[in-house]
Amino acid sequence: MRPKLFVAALVLLFSSWMLYNLLFWGRPVPFNVQTLQRSDRNGDGVIDTWQLDTSQDGQTDIVEIDTDGDGRIDRLQLGHPKIEVLDVSGRKTEAARRKLAVCLDGVPYEDMAELWDQGYFREFSRPGKLISAFPSLSDVALTELLHTEKVPGYENLYFDVRQNAIAGGAASTVSKVRMPYLDALNYDEPGIFKGLAYLLPLRIYHADLGRFRKRYAASQRPAYVAHICSTDSICHVLSREQFLKLMLELDRLLREIYIQQKGQLDFVVFSDHGNSHVTNRRIDLDRFLVQHGFQVESSIRSEKSVVIPAFGLVGALPVYCQAQNTGRLARLLTNHEAVDFTTYLEGDSIQIVSAAGTAAITAKDFGELLRYAPVDGDPLHLKSVMRRMVEQDQLNAEGFASKSNWFAATAGHEYADAVNALYHGVTNHVSNRANLLASLKDGYHYGSPFFDRLVTMRSTHGNLRSTSMTGFFMCNGPMPHAILPARELLKDWQSANSIENAR
C-alpha cells in the first residue's frame, strides 16, 4: 500500500472509532435476561414466580420460584436442554462456591428496601441496614468495610499535613495517590470517570455497569469484590424517582450474573453509605471565617490560616488549623446556620460542640468501652437512650458501655451509631487527620465551587444523620442480622481474599 493511502486508511479507522465511541459510549447496557412474567403461583396474593427469557426469543427458559413465601427466590427451574430443578435456597452452601461482593456506592437502605418490596432484587433476602462510618464518605467507609490501611485524607483531594499543602484531587485518581482500599477491589470505576461524574452522570453510570459486567464475566477469581461508584453520582443529581428507575438496571444486571452462575455463588450486595435525598446548596464558609478573623488558605501560614480541602459536594468537612485554634474554631463554626455540630480530639477525649451544648466521648480498654458524657446540653440527643441503657444494665457505674451495646442501642437513632462513629471518625481512618470535623445539617454541602456551578445537588451525604449513615446489605441466602455495622459485613471475606492474593 502507498504511504499516503495507508495514512488515509489509518485516519479513517481512527475517526470511525472515535465516532463509534461518541455515539455508543455510555448507552444503556443491552441485557440478555428478560423478565417475561411475574405471577402468584399458589394464589396467596403475593408474587412468587418469575419467568425469564435468556435467549431473546420471547419464550420462557428459566423460572425463578420462591417456594417458602419469604420473598426470596429459592428454586431455579431450567428448561434447556432438559428440565432441571436447582435448590438455590443458600441453606447448605459449599465452601467451594464462588464469592461475589458488589458495593453500590451511596444507595440508601430505604431505597433498596422499597424496590425489594416492589418485587425487584428477589434473588436476595429483604435488605438489612448497614451503618456506615463517619464522615459518611466513600474513602472512609470503604476503608472501614474492607479493613484496609488508612487513606491519606477524607476524600480524593486532601491536606497533606507534613508537606503543608493540598494534595490529590481528580487528576490524581488517574496518577493514583495510594488509596489502600483500591488494592482490595477487583473492579472499580477508572479514576478519570470519577472526576467526570458530576458532568455526565448517566453515561458514566451505564458505562460503569457495562464495564463491570464485562470484567466480571472474564474473571476466574473465586472471590471477587466490585465497587460501582456511579450509583452515588446519579443519586446526587437526580430526583429520588429518577434514581429508583435507574436502579432497575442494576436489578437486571445482578439477575443476569446470578442466572449465569445458576444461583450457585455466595452473592452479597451492599452500599458504603446512604444519601439524604434533600436538595442542598453550598455554604460560603470562607466568608464566614473571614468575618471572624480567619482566612481560608491552601496551607497553614499563620495563626489565622484555615485549610479546608474543597472537593466533592458533601455534608461533612475536615478543618486544618494551628493546634491552639482548634477549640475556638470548633465553637465558632457551630454559629453557622448550616453546621450541625463539630468534633475534635482534645487529649484522650473526643469533644462534641453544637448549638445544643457540648459533650465528650472517652474510651477505655483500647476503644472496647466507650462513654458519652454530656457537659452542658446534649448535642447528640442521647440522654433518653442512655436512660434505657441504664435500665437494661448496659452502662457501668462510670457510664461506659461496650461497642456492641452502643451499636444495638443507637443504630436506628437520628445520629446512627454516633458514639462508635465519632470515636473512630476522629481517631482513625486517615493518615492526615484533621484538627476538627464539621457535620452539616441536611440541605447544605461544602466542596469545590467549580463542581457546584455545574449541578443542582438533589442529595448528598457525609454527615452523621441517619439518612447518610444508613446503607443496605443483602445476600442470596438467609440473613442472620437485620442491622450491621459496616465494619462487620466483610470480615470473613478479607481472609478469603488475602489467601487468594497471596497465590
Cell matching residue 406 = 452502643
| Residue among 141 and 225 whose Cβ is closer to Zn ion | 141
Cα of 169 vs its chain's centroid, Å: 19
Question: Hey, how many other C-beta atoms are within 10 angstroms of the C-beta on 301?
Answer: 12
The span of 7-15, 147-155, 227-235, 406-414 binding Zn ion (CB under 5 A) equals 227-235
| Residue among 232 and 417 whose Cβ is closer to Zn ion | 232
Which residue do the cell numbers 487529649 mark? 347
CB of 317 to Zn ion, least distance (A): 14
Based on the number of CB atoms within 10 Å of its own CB, is 420 exposed (0-12), middle (13-18) or buried (19 or more)? buried
The span of 32-40, 140-148, 228-236, 365-373 binding Zn ion (CB under 5 A) equals 228-236
φ/ψ bin of 269: left (φ > 0), alpha (ψ from -120 to 50), beta (otherwise) = beta
- Return the bridge partners of 353, or none: 342, 358
CA atoms within 13 A on the CB side of 132: 34
Which residue do the cell numbers 452479597 mark? 268
Cβ 315 vs Cβ 324: under 8 Å: no
DSSP 8-state class, residue 443: T
CB of 305 to Zn ion, least distance (A): 28
CB of 441 to Zn ion, least distance (A): 17
Q: Which of residues 352-391 bind Zn ion (CB under 5 A)?
A: none
The span of 55-63, 92-100, 225-233, 278-286 binding Zn ion (CB under 5 A) equals 225-233
Q: Which of residues 411-440 bind Zn ion (CB under 5 A)?
A: none
CB of 459 to Zn ion, least distance (A): 9
Cβ-based neighbours of 57, under 8 Å, separated by 6 or more = none
CB of 490 to Zn ion, least distance (A): 20
Cβ 270 vs Cβ 470: under 8 Å: no
Should residue 189 be labelled a site residue for Zn ion when binding is judged by CB under 5 A?
Answer: no
Site map 32..61 versus Zn ion, x via CB under 5 A: ------------------------------
CB of 131 to Zn ion, least distance (A): 17
CB of 136 to Zn ion, least distance (A): 9
The span of 11-19, 35-43, 226-234, 446-454 binding Zn ion (CB under 5 A) equals 226-234
| Residue among 20 and 450 whose Cβ is closer to Zn ion | 450
Cβ 227 vs Cβ 189: under 8 Å: yes
Cell matching residue 90 = 443458600
Q: In whole angstroms, give the CA distance from residue 251 to residue 209.
A: 11
Question: Hey, how many other C-beta atoms are within 10 angstroms of the C-beta on 44?
Answer: 8
Tally the residues of the chain: 503
Count of residues in contact with Zn ion, rule CB under 5 A: 1
| Residue among 231 and 476 whose Cβ is closer to Zn ion | 231
| Residue among 74 and 232 whose Cβ is closer to Zn ion | 232
Which residue do the cell numbers 471572624 mark? 292
CB of 199 to Zn ion, least distance (A): 15
CB of 269 to Zn ion, least distance (A): 18
| Residue among 144 and 232 whose Cβ is closer to Zn ion | 232
| Residue among 61 and 144 whose Cβ is closer to Zn ion | 144
CB of 197 to Zn ion, least distance (A): 8
| Residue from the set 61, 189, 232, 417 that interacts with Zn ion by CB under 5 A | 232
Cell matching residue 54 = 435468556
The span of 215-223, 224-232, 348-356, 465-473 binding Zn ion (CB under 5 A) equals 224-232
CB of 461 to Zn ion, least distance (A): 6
| Residue among 198 and 344 whose Cβ is closer to Zn ion | 198
Cβ 32 vs Cβ 256: under 8 Å: yes
| Residue among 213 and 458 whose Cβ is closer to Zn ion | 458
Q: Tell me which residue of 51, 53, 63, 64 sits closest to 31, measured CA to CA.
A: 53
CB of 411 to Zn ion, least distance (A): 22
Q: In whole angstroms, give the CA distance from residue 56 to residue 304.
A: 66
CA 159, 162, 166 angle in degrees (round to 5)? 25
DSSP-assigned letters across all residues of 39-64: E-TT-SSS--EEEEESSSSSS--EEE
| Residue among 276 and 351 whose Cβ is closer to Zn ion | 276
- The residue whose Cβ lies closest to Zn ion is 232
The span of 204-212, 231-239, 354-362, 384-392 binding Zn ion (CB under 5 A) equals 231-239
Q: Tell me which residue of 364, 278, 366, 346 sits closest to 315, measured CA to CA.
A: 278
| Residue among 208 and 232 whose Cβ is closer to Zn ion | 232
| Residue among 116 and 451 whose Cβ is closer to Zn ion | 451
Residues that bind Zn ion (CB under 5 A): 232
